[in-house]
Structure 1
Amino acid sequence: IMATDMVDDREMREAQRDYVDFLDDDQDQGIYQSKVRDMIGDNKARLIVNINDLRRRNETRAAKLLNSAFEELLAFQRALKDVVATVDATYAKQHEEFFIGLEGSFGTKHVSPRTLTSRLLGSVVCVEGIVTKCSLVRPKVVRSVHYCPATKKTMERVYSDLTSLDAFPSSAIYPTKDEENNPLETEFGLSIYKDHQTITVQEMPEKAPAGQLPRSVDIVLDNDLVDSVKPGDRVQVVGTYRCLPGKKGGFTSGTFRTIMIACQVKQMSKEVSPSFSADDVAKIRNFCRTRSINVFDRLAHSLAPSIHGHDYIKKAILCMLLGGVEKVLENGTRIRGDINILLIGDPSVAKSQLLRYVLQTAPRAIPTTGRGSSGVGLTAAVTTDQETGERRLEAGAMVLADRGYIHIAKAITPTLTEEAANHIAEEYSRLRSQEQLGSDVARVSRRTTGTRSGPTLL
Structure 2
Amino acid sequence: KMAVEFVDDQEMREAQRDYLDFLDDDQDQGIYQSKVRQMISENKSRLIVNLNDLRRRNEQRAAKLLNNAFEELLAFQRALKDLVASIDATYAKQHEEFFIGLEGSFGSKHVSPRTLTSRLLGSMVCLEGIVTKCSLVRPKVVRSVHYCPATKKTMERKYTDMTSLDAFPSSAIYPTKDEENNPLETEFGLSIYKDHQTITVQEMPEKAPAGQLPRSVDIILDNDLVDVVKPGDRTQVIGTYRCLPGKKGGFTSGTFRTIMIACHVKQMSKEVSHYFSADDVAKIKSFCRTRSKNSFDQLARSLAPSIHGHEYIKKAILCMLLGGVEKVLENGSRIRGDINVLLIGDPSVAKSQLLRYVLHTAPRAIPTTGRGSSGVGLTAAVTTDQETGTAFHTLRQHKKPEAIISNLRKTLGQVKVSE
Q: TM-score, normalised by structure 1?
A: 0.71
Residues 320-335 of structure 1 mapped to structure 2, 5 A cutoff: none
- Following TM superposition, by how much is the alpha carbon of 1:350 offset from its aligned partner in structure 2, in angstroms? 7.5
Residue number in structure 2 paired with 1:401: 382
Residues 13-412 of structure 1 mapped to structure 2, 5 A cutoff: 13-271=13-271, 300-302=304-306, 310=310, 312-314=312-314, 316-317=316-317, 340-343=339-342, 353=352, 357=356, 364-365=365-366, 367=368, 397-403=378-384, 405-407=392-394
CA contact (8 A) 1:239 1:263 kept: yes
User: How many angstroms apart in 2 are the aligned matches of 1:78 and 1:72?
Assistant: 10
Q: Cα–Cα, structure 1 residues 358 and 167, in superposed 2: closer, same or farther, change >3 Å?
A: farther
- Following TM superposition, by how much is the alpha carbon of 1:407 offset from its aligned partner in structure 2, in angstroms? 4.3
CA contact (8 A) 1:345 1:351 kept: no
CA contact (8 A) 1:196 1:222 kept: yes
| Deviation by residue 1:1-58 (Cα, 9 ceiling, x = unmatched) | 1111111111111100001100000111100000001101111000000000000000
User: How many angstroms apart in 2 are the aligned matches of 1:230 and 1:192?
Assistant: 26
The amino acid of 1:243's aligned partner reads C
CA contact (8 A) 2:317 2:341 kept: no
- Following TM superposition, by how much is the alpha carbon of 1:71 offset from its aligned partner in structure 2, in angstroms? 0.4
CA contact (8 A) 1:196 1:220 kept: yes
- The runs of 5 or more residues in structure 2 that have no matched partner are 274-297, 326-336, 385-390
Deviates more, 1:204-213 or 1:346-355: 346-355
Q: Secondary structure at the match of 1:15?
A: helix
Deviates more, 1:54-63 or 1:244-253: 244-253
CA contact (8 A) 1:366 1:397 kept: no
Q: Cα–Cα, structure 1 residues 354 and 181, in superposed 2: closer, same or farther, change >3 Å?
A: farther
The amino acid of 1:406's aligned partner reads H
User: How many angstroms apart in 1 are the aligned matches of 2:78 and 2:365?
Assistant: 43
User: How many angstroms apart in 2 are the aligned matches of 1:216 and 1:344?
Assistant: 33
CA contact (8 A) 1:135 1:198 kept: yes
Residue number in structure 2 paired with 1:8: 8
| Deviation by residue 1:90-126 (Cα, 9 ceiling, x = unmatched) | 1111111100000000000000000000010000000
- The runs of 5 or more residues in structure 1 that have no matched partner are 274-293, 327-337, 378-394, 426-430, 432-440, 443-458
User: How many angstroms apart in 1 are the aligned matches of 2:369 and 2:179?
Assistant: 61
CA contact (8 A) 2:54 2:62 kept: yes
User: How many angstroms apart in 2 are the aligned matches of 1:25 and 1:243?
Assistant: 36
User: How many angstroms apart in 1 are the aligned matches of 2:72 and 2:117?
Assistant: 21
- Following TM superposition, by how much is the alpha carbon of 1:400 offset from its aligned partner in structure 2, in angstroms? 2.6
User: How many angstroms apart in 2 are the aligned matches of 1:270 and 1:248?
Assistant: 42
Give the number of equivalent residue pairs: 365
User: How many angstroms apart in 2 are the aligned matches of 1:158 and 1:356?
Assistant: 60
Q: Cα–Cα, structure 1 residues 248 and 355, in superposed 2: closer, same or farther, change >3 Å?
A: farther
Q: Secondary structure at the match of 1:183?
A: coil
User: How many angstroms apart in 1 are the aligned matches of 2:223 and 2:193?
Assistant: 9
- Following TM superposition, by how much is the alpha carbon of 1:189 offset from its aligned partner in structure 2, in angstroms? 1.1
Q: Secondary structure at the match of 2:114?
A: helix
CA contact (8 A) 1:205 1:364 kept: no
User: How many angstroms apart in 2 are the aligned matches of 1:231 and 1:368?
Assistant: 23
- Following TM superposition, by how much is the alpha carbon of 1:270 offset from its aligned partner in structure 2, in angstroms? 3.5
Q: Secondary structure at the match of 1:207?
A: coil
User: How many angstroms apart in 1 are the aligned matches of 2:8 and 2:366?
Assistant: 51
Q: Secondary structure at the match of 1:255?
A: strand
User: How many angstroms apart in 2 are the aligned matches of 1:57 and 1:12?
Assistant: 19
- Following TM superposition, by how much is the alpha carbon of 1:150 offset from its aligned partner in structure 2, in angstroms? 1.8
User: How many angstroms apart in 2 are the aligned matches of 1:358 and 1:128?
Assistant: 28
Residue number in structure 1 paired with 2:276: none
Q: TM-score, normalised by structure 2?
A: 0.77
Q: Cα–Cα, structure 1 residues 357 and 34, in superposed 2: closer, same or farther, change >3 Å?
A: same
User: How many angstroms apart in 1 are the aligned matches of 2:338 and 2:317?
Assistant: 9
What's the C-alpha RMSD, in Å, of the aligned pairs?
3.6
The amino acid of 1:173's aligned partner reads I
Q: Secondary structure at the match of 1:243?
A: strand
CA contact (8 A) 1:366 1:401 kept: no
- Following TM superposition, by how much is the alpha carbon of 1:178 offset from its aligned partner in structure 2, in angstroms? 1.6
- Following TM superposition, by how much is the alpha carbon of 1:309 offset from its aligned partner in structure 2, in angstroms? 6.3
User: How many angstroms apart in 2 are the aligned matches of 1:351 and 1:298?
Assistant: 15
User: How many angstroms apart in 2 are the aligned matches of 1:350 and 1:162?
Assistant: 59
Moved over 3 A (4+): 250-253, 270-273, 294-299, 308-312, 314-321, 338-341, 344-364, 366-370, 395-399, 407-412
- Following TM superposition, by how much is the alpha carbon of 1:346 offset from its aligned partner in structure 2, in angstroms? 7.6
User: How many angstroms apart in 2 are the aligned matches of 1:170 and 1:227?
Assistant: 27
CA contact (8 A) 2:143 2:159 kept: yes
| Deviation by residue 1:401-456 (Cα, 9 ceiling, x = unmatched) | 115522479778x99xx9xx944x3xxxxx6xxxxxxxxx63xxxxxxxxxxxxxx
CA contact (8 A) 1:355 1:407 kept: no
User: How many angstroms apart in 1 are the aligned matches of 2:180 and 2:240?
Assistant: 42
Residue number in structure 2 paired with 1:428: none
Identity %: 74
CA contact (8 A) 1:301 1:314 kept: no
CA contact (8 A) 2:345 2:351 kept: no
